[in-house]
Amino acid sequence: MAQAHSHSHSHDHGHHDQESLKQFGFWLFMITDVILFATLFATFIVLRDNTASGPVGADLIEMNGIIISTFILLTSSFTSGLALLSMNKGDKRGLILWLAVSALLGLSFIYLEVNEFIHLVHEGAKISTSAYWSAFYTLVGTHGLHVSIGIVWMTAIIIQLAKRGITPVTKRKVNIISLYWHFLDAVWIFVFSLVYLMEVM
Amino acid sequence: MASQNQSHEETGHTHGSLKSYIIGFVLSIILTIIPLVAVLNDLFNRSTTIAVILVTAALQFLVQLIFFMHIREEDKPRYNLISLIFAVLILLTIVIGSIWIMTYNKVAI
């Protein structure tokens, strides 16, 4: 803290290298995460006809819920951007508020997803039903897991912000979580397009 | 030099404005609605619909990158952009390669 104050004149530069290096490290993690999702997408696309005479997505997927969760995640990506803007203005209250809104939207997305999975399992589409459903649950579930981790992480950052305020360190953390949140929205666009839209068309 | 750096910090590193976020949000909504309407109303034939879905998804990914992740505002050297291009290359290789290989696998059956 003291360091941050004494550096307040030039901290943009002194911390810039350290913090932006850490931010770049996180960017590289996301690059590897892209490759993870690439393999899961490839698996799903390749196995989408292997339904073992069982149910397929087109029969069971309820698009209304999917459309709602798509717009929820889209809005939450937007609000995490607003959090970043508040931070750049030095507005701690606004920052915490928008982060909390993003986390809550993420939570409702997960709620809808869990409900959807329960509905699918009740209709007889378990992960063991066919290669199609194994690939489906692995892909969509991995994305859901990422969002769930993001919610816990965001909550931790909110607590840290409330305690320590906006410092170069918390600033970097907010930058990273917001990047992660945009990334999850980008992945969901492809889940929505390649899994859901192509399934029901 | 220092003042130049400072002004660059202010103009180049603000990481977006409210305007850019709103533009990105509106574009994302439009690009979500277009394929949705096309699919739910059966506007096009099968291959056109697939093309519409893929193109709008790719465009929306670009919107996220430019308006939300501010990939254009990166200082040189642009390591973020270079590593992203690498990721896209690997991604396309995995996805298109898998589809290609497994298509012939199906023919064998």
Is A118 an interface residue toward B (CB < 8 Å)?
no
Q: With contacts defined as CB-CB under 8 Å, which chain A residues touch B17?
A: 85
Q: With contacts defined as CB-CB under 8 Å, which chain B residues touch A135?
A: none
Lowest mean pLDDT among A73-77, B13-17, B34-38: B13-17
How confident is the model at residue A14, as a pLDDT? Answer: 54
B91: region left, alpha or beta (phi > 0 left; psi from -120 to 50 alpha): alpha
Q: Residue A31 is nearest to which of B46, B83, B102, comparing CB atoms? A: B83
Q: With contacts defined as CB-CB under 8 Å, which chain A residues touch B100?
A: none
> Are the C-beta atoms of residues B104 and A54 closer than 8 Å to each other?
no
Same domain, B66 and B98: no
* Dihedral sign of CA atoms B73, B77, B80, B85 in order: positive
Domains belonging to chain A, first-starting first, are 62-201 (1.20.120.80)
- In the structure encoding, which two tokens stand for residue A8, read together? 């307040």
Q: Residue A45 is nearest to which of B40, B95, B106, comparing CB atoms? A: B95
Q: With contacts defined as CB-CB under 8 Å, which chain A residues touch B36?
A: 67, 197
Same domain, B65 and B81: no
Q: What is the pLDDT of residues B26-73, one digit of tens each?
A: 999 999 999 999 998 888 888 899 999 999 999 999 999 999 888 888
Q: Residue A70 is nearest to which of B32, B88, B97, comparing CB atoms? A: B32
- d(C-alpha A68, C-alpha A195), whole Å: 16
Same domain, B98 and B59: no
Number of domains making up chain B? 2
Same domain, B67 and B29: yes
Same domain, B27 and B67: yes
Same domain, B62 and B108: no
Q: Count how many pairs of residues, chain A against chain B, have C-beta atoms within 8 Å.
A: 114
Domain membership of residue B44 as a residue range:
1-73
Same domain, B12 and B65: yes
DSSP secondary structure letters along A165-199: -S-HHHHHHHHHHHHHHHHHHHHHHHIIIIIIIHH
Same domain, B63 and B97: no
Q: With contacts defined as CB-CB under 8 Å, which chain B residues touch A190?
A: 57, 61
Same domain, B82 and B55: no
* Dihedral sign of CA atoms A98, A103, A107, A110 in order: positive
- pLDDT of B74 above 50: yes
Cβ distance of B29 and A42 shorter than 8 Å? no
Cβ distance of A194 and B94 shorter than 8 Å? no
* Share of residues in chain B with pLDDT > 70 (%): 82
> Are the C-beta atoms of residues A172 and A23 closer than 8 Å to each other?
yes
Nearest partner of A32 among A190, A146, A132, judged by Cα:
A146
CA distance A2 to chain B (A): 23
Q: What is the CA radius of gyration of chain A?
A: 20
- In the structure encoding, which two tokens stand for residue A37, read together? 């999702």
- A176: Cβ–Cβ under 8 A, 6 or more apart, which residues? A22, A23, A26
Same domain, B16 and B52: yes
User: Measured in Å, how far apart are chain A's first and last C-alpha atoms?
Assistant: 56
Residue of B7, B34, B53, B103 to mutate, interface with A, max A Cβ within 10 Å: B53
- pLDDT of A6 above 70: no
CA distances from A128 to A165, B82, B90 (A): 48, 40, 29
Cβ distance of A71 and B29 shorter than 8 Å? yes
Same domain, B16 and B40: yes
Q: Residue A82 is nearest to which of B21, B35, B90, comparing CB atoms? A: B21
Q: What is the pLDDT of residues A7-56, one digit of tens each?
A: 444 444 555 678 888 989 999 999 999 999 999 999 999 998 888 888 88
> Are the C-beta atoms of residues A200 and B50 closer than 8 Å to each other?
no
Cβ distance of B69 and A179 shorter than 8 Å? yes
Q: How many CA atoms within 13 Å lie on the side-chain side of A128?
A: 0
Same domain, B59 and B100: no
How confident is the model at residue B15, as a pLDDT? Answer: 59
Q: What is the pLDDT of residues A64-74, one digit of tens each?
A: 999 999 999 99
- d(C-alpha A66, C-alpha A61), whole Å: 8
CA distance B96 to chain A (A): 8
How confident is the model at residue A55, as a pLDDT? Answer: 87
